[in-house]
Amino acid sequence: MSAGQHSNGKVTSCLRFARSDEGNGYGHNPEGDTKPMFVYACLVDNLDVLKSKAYDDVSRALNLETTRKLGEDECPVGYSEGLEQEGKEPMVFDIVDAKFAVYEEIPTGGGPTFQNLPPDLLSPLGTMLATLSTYLIAVNVGLPASAGDDMKKISEMLLGRLRKLLPAYIKTYSSLYCWKGKEAQPKDHPFTDAEKNAGWMFMICVSGAIGPISNVTEWLPKDVFDRAVSSLGYGVDVQVGEMVGQDVPRGYGIWEGNIFMR
């Protein structure tokens, strides 16, 4: 995810959000209609870094055993039964079921942003403050890039409603992102089908003395996100580009933050 177009491509922060309660719409099955158990957000100044030689040169090979002598309790990382026959070197993505999509932040002027979280939420080791609970509310809307003006209105309405529903002591940090297309995808990174139902992502980080995730779900009615989309006529009759006459794919998920690294 990127905000700036003319910076040096520095990675500003890496965030991880997770669910501990598999089920209820969350799971590890990539083929099922489930939301992922983990969501990672890598925030960079410039998306061009993802197409750079420096980024491509970062090794993703499962070859720890070829770089040094293994310790007494260590075993080779790479598994290569089928891959060796194909003449391929085993890679991290062969065993990690990770999928990627590249988004660019669209400025909305809505206050503190998810793209630039305050320093007190981040640390070099990614450790979280014991006094704070931090959660990600991620809203996906399957509209094309041409729906930018309406998506800004939807995000503003949704953020306003969330702030009314959440206790006053909860801080919100939000950013609106537009999918940059398959041409922005880094080399050899498995693709998540953003084109189908996540052309736009609205990322809201809520932070404070919140407690368990059940508190967040109790504060937010299940239809608050649908109502924000349908308020502009997108619930049944869509009037944007190729989406005319179709219901807009949309959804949301809530995950707990557990690594916030700068």
* Per-residue pLDDT at 7: 42
Q: Can you spell out the DSSP letters for the chain? A: -B--SSS---EEEEEEEE-SS-BTTB-S-TTSS-B-SEEEEEEES-GGGGGSHHHHTS--B--HHHHS---TT-------HHHHHTT---BGGGTS---B--EEEE----SS-STT--GGG-BTT-PPPTT-EEEEEEEEE---GGGHHHHHHHHHHHHHHHHHHS-TT-EEEEEEEEE--GGGSPTTPPBP-HHHH-SEEEEEEEEES--SHHHHHHHS-TTHHHHHHHTTT-SS---SGGGTTSPPPEEEEEEEEEEEE-
Per cent of the chain over pLDDT 90 is 25
* Per-residue pLDDT at 158: 87
Q: 0.85 exceeded by the pTM?
A: no
Read off the pLDDT of residues 152-171 as tens digits, 9 standing for 90 and up.
988 998 898 888 889 999 99
Residue ranges of the chain whose pLDDT lies below 50 = 3-9, 236-245
* Per-residue pLDDT at 184: 92
Read off the pLDDT of residues 72-117 as tens digits, 9 standing for 90 and up.
887 776 655 555 556 667 778 877 788 899 999 999 887 899 999 9
